[in-house]
Amino acid sequence: MAWISATYLLAAREDEVQKRAESLALEQSVEMPLEAVRDPKIRDTIVARVAGIEPFDAHRFRVTLQLATATTGEDVTQLTNMLFGNCSLQDDVELDGVEFPASLLERFGGPRYGIAGLRELVGAAKRPLTCTALKPQGSSPETLAALCETFGNAGIDVIKDDHGIADQSYAPFAQRARACQAAAERASAATGKPVIYAPSLVGSPRKIFENARLARECGIRAVLLAPMLVGLGTFAEFVAEFGEFVVLAHPALGGASRISPAWLFGKFFRLLGADATIYPNYGGRFAYSPDVCRALAGAAREPWGSIRPAMPVPAGGMSVERVPEMIEFYGQDVMLLIGGSLLSAGDHLAERSRSFVRAVGGGV
Amino acid sequence: MAWISATYLLAAREDEVQKRAESLALEQSVEMPLEAVRDPKIRDTIVARVAGIEPFDAHRFRVTLQLATATTGEDVTQLTNMLFGNCSLQDDVELDGVEFPASLLERFGGPRYGIAGLRELVGAAKRPLTCTALKPQGSSPETLAALCETFGNAGIDVIKDDHGIADQSYAPFAQRARACQAAAERASAATGKPVIYAPSLVGSPRKIFENARLARECGIRAVLLAPMLVGLGTFAEFVAEFGEFVVLAHPALGGASRISPAWLFGKFFRLLGADATIYPNYGGRFAYSPDVCRALAGAAREPWGSIRPAMPVPAGGMSVERVPEMIEFYGQDVMLLIGGSLLSAGDHLAERSRSFVRAVGGGV
């Protein structure tokens, strides 16, 4: 019988932590008092177990629970429900990390491309990759496409929509995706270097799938999806059905402060098939520390059974000037995402974009 | 031009709050420096605006932003993205509440049944309604169905699956739904009172829609869905496509501690079509205060343009003994959900269930 090992940080007094951990185990499995569970088979094979309690900091313990794999039905949504459904509502609990049995790793499968596939697609074997965003929203498809071509001509590897660009009246998905992909193809032809355009897919499942089929028809090879926003199950279903797309995961709505960012964005999004995972870099306009960023990049890249590594993509208030520091910090297996700071260059956009490309050792 | 008015609690020093509020407005709209936005039309119609700043408590301000309705593309997922996508990652921000323009209220539409429709379905015009849960997971369809019949014979109005019951090997959805619905119908026939069984729909969009079609074929009239878990867009799409089901919303994964529970579970789930909204009651095993619960029930029930009231469903560690207190606190327009405490009665389950029904003035 397979068990999932989930670790939580639990705020509790030392003389109460055992009891609190046991009630957490009930909450995340049968959700009723143990004495009311009358079937001994359910007690043995379904009720979650406290597998370890150790001190963590002044007021918290690290508690490891074993959750029965059978309760997940091998479904991503239900897995999330068992890991953090009800206890997300209890503010003394944080989800710290999870170890999955091999059967679940195989079931979910992780990235189809990962770091190696992404590198092959953009034609860059070793150097850090570059990424930028088309914005601001409110721009017309033509404006966004012109911007895409400028970035592509400068040699940037991946050009994604801003995550706020969806399917709005001022830039409907079909027109925008077609125009930007054509611009990326022109830039590829002009520079002799692959330029990848990744449109943002936002909406209900039906809209996401419809727009993905449109993207497929345009020859688009990568997309941007925010798993917490569109739903983890929708994300997983997308990955399973659209094998031709490299998938960039966006962290929007992922700031439930009580799920470890390293685990959620690094490990879990990777498990569900993110080829690259975007997250707030330290020193930008978000509050992540260097330690959190290091752990997150590690979670995305480190060996993990049969699961391919995913590309870490630090972002948020980054600048071309910080590129050397980022490479020093992250090494070569990273895709740096700089958006607003390039666009602030105004008439010098092409020049600053080329500086970005040169800073990672690229160039066209 | 229509604007959405979103209110955030922002931790900032008084001499910095104006600047911080302006950067939040950029984050939640164009996501780039204002000086890099070159199109005056975008500055006027797309960039979010700071509409108000007032002191809230010792270290926070209440900041009201106006967000351009056009940026939402009238889509639930994108609306959520604009309201709390990126700033969910900034831990100095909490989403406090939102005022929508009438056009968006009409677009989303709210509950199709609401309190009045739910009352009609269960045949109880005025008294508080009763609700319980089938558990523990791990039980066979036959065991769950027997439990359902016992509850139904006791006169309980709504019998839902535990939210942890999905589509697992030990109780596949099709068998379970069919068996429990048949049990509810037998109880209805025996008592002459409608008994509503609400199966839990958990999974990727495809699985949810497949199982909903199965439920429809069985004659099931209500379902349980967790909007944050399955994705808000999936939830909205479900409501739009399955008009025959009364929808009970479950708060699982909704504990992002930085979205106001009253707004999220009371108002937003209602806007998206929840006919009833389940939430942790005060004094149980979750940490909500009486004030939060009062605000949440108020948000679910209060007049709101063309949007029907949704039934508040306090739950979590409730007992039959607390029923009078709950009625005193919530009034008559409430559905009380008691699960584990009934099941703890063991051989006296039927008797305790009848006590629950009598305590709200019901009975068969």
Q: Does the pLDDT value for residue B241 go beyond 90? A: yes
Two tokens at B131? 């609700």
Chain B hits for A81, CB-CB cut-off 8 Å, are 163-164, 166, 202, 226, 229, 252-253
pLDDT, tens only, A28-64: 999 888 988 889 999 999 999 999 999 999 999 999 9
The distance of A68 to chain B (nearest Cα, Å) reads 10
B173, closest residue in chain A (CA to CA): A73
pLDDT at position A257: 60
B165, closest residue in chain A (CA to CA): A71
Contacts of B253 (CB under 8 A, 6+ apart): A80, A81, A84, A85, A88, A256, B226, B228, B229
pLDDT, tens only, B246-258: 998 888 888 756 6
CB-CB: which of A30, A164, A237 is closest to B31?
A164
CB-CB: which of B38, B84, B204 is closest to A234?
B204
Two tokens at B62? 């209440």
The distance of A268 to chain B (nearest Cα, Å) reads 15
Which of B35, B77, B342 is the best mutation test for A, with the most CBs of A within 10 A?
Answer: B77
Average pLDDT over residues A258-264: 78
- Residues belonging to chain B: 364
* C-beta separation of B251 from B279 below 8 A: yes
* C-beta separation of B342 from B356 below 8 A: yes
Which H/E stretch holds residue A311? strand A311-315
Q: Does the pLDDT value for residue A6 go beyond 80? A: yes
Report the distance separating Cα B327 and Cα B128, nearest Å.
7
A-B contacts (CB, under 8 Å): 303
Chain B hits for A47, CB-CB cut-off 8 Å, are 136, 138
CB-CB: which of A135, A162, A256 is closest to B255?
A256
Two tokens at B346? 């063991």
Task: Answer yes or no: do A90 and B237 touch at CB < 8 A.
Answer: no
Report the distance separating Cα B137 and Cα B133, nearest Å.
11
Regarding predicted confidence, which is higher, A256 or A107? A107
Report the distance separating Cα B286 and Cα B5, nearest Å.
30
pLDDT, tens only, B169-185: 999 999 999 999 999 99
CB atoms < 10 A from the CB of A140, how many?
14
Q: Residue A277 — pLDDT band, cuts 50, 70, 90?
A: confident
Tell me if residue A229 falls in helix, strand or coil.
Answer: helix
Which of A8, A28, A81, A165 is the best mutation test for B, with the most CBs of B within 10 A?
Answer: A81
Task: Answer yes or no: do A253 and B88 touch at CB < 8 A.
Answer: yes
The distance of A316 to chain B (nearest Cα, Å) reads 9
Inter-axis angle of helices B323-330 and B349-359, to 10 degrees? 30
The distance of A302 to chain B (nearest Cα, Å) reads 24
Q: Does the pLDDT value for residue A1 go beyond 90? A: no
Report the distance separating Cα B37 and Cα B32, nearest Å.
8
CB-CB: which of A138, A206, A252 is closest to B45?
A138
Q: Does the pLDDT value for residue A74 go beyond 80? A: yes
B60: β partners: B11, B57
* C-beta separation of A311 from A297 below 8 A: no
Report the distance separating Cα A329 and Cα A293, nearest Å.
10
A262: DSSP letter? I
The distance of B222 to chain A (nearest Cα, Å) reads 20
Q: Residue A175 — pLDDT band, cuts 50, 70, 90?
A: very high
B345, closest residue in chain A (CA to CA): A36
Average pLDDT over residues A175-204: 96
Q: Does the pLDDT value for residue A15 go beyond 70? A: yes
Task: Answer yes or no: do B168 and A70 touch at CB < 8 A.
Answer: yes
B137, closest residue in chain A (CA to CA): A30
Average pLDDT over residues B279-304: 88
Chain B hits for A138, CB-CB cut-off 8 Å, are 30, 39, 41-42, 45-47, 70-71
Average pLDDT over residues B282-291: 84
pLDDT, tens only, A130-166: 889 999 999 999 999 999 999 999 999 999 999 899 9
Chain B hits for A88, CB-CB cut-off 8 Å, are 252-256
What structural domains and CATH numbers belong to chain A? 3-108 (3.30.70.150), 114-359 (3.20.20.110)
Report the distance separating Cα A279 and Cα A282, nearest Å.
10
The distance of B120 to chain A (nearest Cα, Å) reads 30
Q: Does the pLDDT value for residue A230 go beyond 90? A: yes
The distance of B125 to chain A (nearest Cα, Å) reads 31
Chain A hits for B71, CB-CB cut-off 8 Å, are 137-138, 164, 168
pLDDT at position A267: 85
ipTM: 0.84
Report the distance separating Cα A351 and Cα A224, nearest Å.
26
Report the distance separating Cα B229 and Cα B300, nearest Å.
20
Looking at every residue in chain B, the average pLDDT score rounds to 90
Q: Where are the alpha helices (DSSP H) in A109-253?
A: 114-122, 141-154, 173-191, 205-217, 227-230, 232-241
Chain B hits for A280, CB-CB cut-off 8 Å, are 89
pLDDT, tens only, A280-300: 899 877 778 999 999 999 999
Chain A hits for B230, CB-CB cut-off 8 Å, are 77, 231, 233
B163, closest residue in chain A (CA to CA): A81
Task: Answer yes or no: do B343 and A36 touch at CB < 8 A.
Answer: yes
pLDDT at position A256: 59
Q: Which residue, A333, A329, A353, is CA-closest to A341?
A: A353
Task: Answer yes or no: do B170 and A139 touch at CB < 8 A.
Answer: no
Query: What is the arrangement of strands in the sheet containing A246-249, beginning at the earlier edge strand?
Result: A222-225, A246-249, A276-280, A311-315
C-alpha pair distances (Å), B233 with each of A231, B26, B112, B226: 8, 24, 17, 12
Average pLDDT over residues A81-97: 86
Task: Answer yes or no: do B234 and A23 touch at CB < 8 A.
Answer: no
Single pTM value for the model: 0.87
Which of A75, A89, A147 is the best mutation test for B, with the most CBs of B within 10 A?
Answer: A89
The distance of A89 to chain B (nearest Cα, Å) reads 4
CB-CB: which of A46, A133, A207 is closest to B138?
A46
pLDDT, tens only, B102-140: 888 888 888 888 888 888 999 999 888 888 999 999 999
Task: Answer yes or no: do A35 and B234 touch at CB < 8 A.
Answer: no
C-alpha pair distances (Å), B249 with each of A60, A184, B81, B232, B266: 32, 43, 20, 11, 10
Q: Does the pLDDT value for residue B260 go beyond 80? A: no
Q: Which residue, B226, B180, B183, is CA-closest to B199?
A: B180
B325: DSSP letter? H
Report the distance separating Cα B232 and Cα B257, nearest Å.
17
Chain B hits for A76, CB-CB cut-off 8 Å, are 204
pLDDT at position B184: 97
A257, closest residue in chain B (CA to CA): B256
